[in-house]
Structure 1
């Protein structure tokens, strides 16, 4: 068939350009180390920043819930899939984010797509950071709103575009922590501009929740602006170590989303076991922030090590990028590190711009200082073989 031949040609082209992707298979817990393609590797690419998914207290609680509730949800939340566990989790999330209410979605992707497309109609203009996550971009595309892109974290450009455009209603949407660069949105200034120009604010705090702030409440706690964001979105699949996305905001908005967000209405609910894992992880973090402080200490330590070894990095989030530039160099470096026992992701186009391929390193609270020192030495040695663009 011509269609299959065309697909094969496109795959071959991806391989030639070092853009082909394949799956690495993990056959163990995803903690600081894991069995990857049959061999133990040091994990430096997991989003499970606090290593909650391997916490014995979480696993034991999930076992109890499975025997009480079974393994499946049985339907969408609006039919038979809404359990008391879901409601309890939403109460905890709203309290955590200093809002009136919350709503859990199946993934962070579904949360962004559902929320933006439900709220924004043809009367809206959406002002979106140029490095926002793909789920935000797709949510904007699915909405009936006009979308205007502002330069990354550039508040002067954002205000210029707010001034230049006439709208009945507006929304500024941004990642809290940007998933490929690890830098943090300027929420205080975004809030000031939203009030000045009378637009709503939405923050995707997928990579900030559980990572930033003394209590791990995220980007808003980090900046001291808790309770001042109109739409606060996050995920349970990263630092919380479970699955799912959520949105926090006013009670009216949450009730509206229950009745209008298609990705919520038409999806089977997350299983009780999955919700239980999130509940237990959040319960632990509420009373004990040692994992959060361990993570933040490890981030500082690892950045210090790399800088000492001549690799210039800086991050307050768990994401530490090393820009390689060329896609082939990034892929070769990741493959060499895998041989050395370190699993690091090579991020390439279209996830990032052409010519900005990188090693995306992520830190976990459970990494030991010895593991981080070993990794830094190996990374410095491998990167030094490549000409960093």
Structure 2
């Protein structure tokens, strides 16, 4: 290579560009978990950064279920679900998930991102159209790209914009995709109106309820159940590593739709199944979610404390959210990072969220509330925010 030429693979330059834009991410090595408290480098931190909304990740019933299941099933599924990876534990979990959300059938995936990244291409392809909310999660966005369908991005939660696009669309098939609770804003999609449009324009509606399952709806049955939605045009997807406290994801819908997805979703067909140990632990989680309603009541109390707080720094804006995701929008990457560091120095871990995860100019602190938080934990955080913003 000539001395004055540069390789296209200059990773160092790319990393320096990330540093200059204050966009490089770092990992923390967590040494121990205790509810909302984590130990990092020998230091105990009060964390507002995880998605363990119901505080189940260390629940004794789940831990015991995992121990017993490991003794029975071992720790690996050994193959894809369509070979020999689908155990009796998986079968029972799928039956219980479907009953929990009030839909005919469910299909369990080993993780949430590949679930959506595989579901969208299974449902849409060349000649079809995918309609994606502007703030959809990356897994839905990537799934739309992989589908090779025409992708139309409609304005966030804008039903009229979506209706105009559907009206003008001449594609063979139409698929509407949306988060139910948007992960960085905590805003909630207008699911009733979206389903009405799906029925009006011969479309399917795929809802990603990663941040609503276990938290919203009767008994924690999720956002679709909260809206009373039942339709053969509804496909309901949710992850199980957040409020459920374990791992994996599922999609639920009509029996024929779920059978079709099992036959066509590449991220299901060609991936090794999650261990049966995980499936048994999730079955225990569903029982706790149903039985321990005080956890959702605690979350509502904490959300109310944040919404009722009157002393935010003047240059900060609290996003409009009635969910455990509470965004404090500061604007610049530098301001968000500095606020995160100051809170970190006080033993509080609140992550700074920057582009491309959120739009340019909307860097923020993302407060993630959990039933594992005591009200005094949140008061401590609110006092600290007042100090650093003063």
TM-score (norm 1): 0.94
Relative distance call for 1:226 and 1:113 in structure 2 (3 A) is same
Q: 1:113, 1:66 → 2: CA distance?
A: 29
Relative distance call for 1:253 and 1:73 in structure 2 (3 A) is same
1:103 to 107, 131, 155: 107
Q: 1:348, 1:214 → 2: CA distance?
A: 34
Residue 260 (structure 2) pairs with residue 290 (structure 1): no
**Does structure 2 conserve the Cα–Cα contact (< 8 Å) formed by 1:19 and 1:349?**
yes
Shift of 1:177: 0.3
Q: Which structure 1 residue ranges, 5 or more long, are not aligned? A: none
Q: 1:207, 1:199 → 2: CA distance?
A: 24
The match for 2:148 is 144
What are the within-5 Å matches in structure 2 for residues 1-389 of structure 1?
Answer: 3=7, 6-29=10-33, 31-226=35-230, 230-305=234-309, 307-309=310-312, 312-313=317-318, 314-382=320-388, 384=389
Shift of 1:36: 2.4
Query: 1:251-287 deviations in whole A, cap 9, x for unaligned?
Result: 1121112221110011111112222221111011223
Q: Which structure 2 residue ranges, 5 or more long, are not aligned? A: none
Judge which range, 171-180 or 312-321, deviates more. 312-321
Give aligned pairs, total.
383
Shift of 1:163: 1.4
Relative distance call for 1:357 and 1:48 in structure 2 (3 A) is same
* RMSD between aligned residues: 1.7
Shift of 1:292: 1.6
SS of 2:31's partner is coil
Query: 1:275-315 deviations in whole A, cap 9, x for unaligned?
Result: 2221111011223322122122221123223x344665342
SS of 1:234's partner is strand
Relative distance call for 1:5 and 1:151 in structure 2 (3 A) is closer
Judge which range, 35-44 or 132-141, deviates more. 35-44
Relative distance call for 1:226 and 1:289 in structure 2 (3 A) is farther
SS of 2:33's partner is coil
**Does structure 1 conserve the Cα–Cα contact (< 8 Å) formed by 2:123 and 2:175?**
no
Shift of 1:171: 1.1
Relative distance call for 1:217 and 1:253 in structure 2 (3 A) is same
Shift of 1:125: 1.0
Shift of 1:195: 1.5
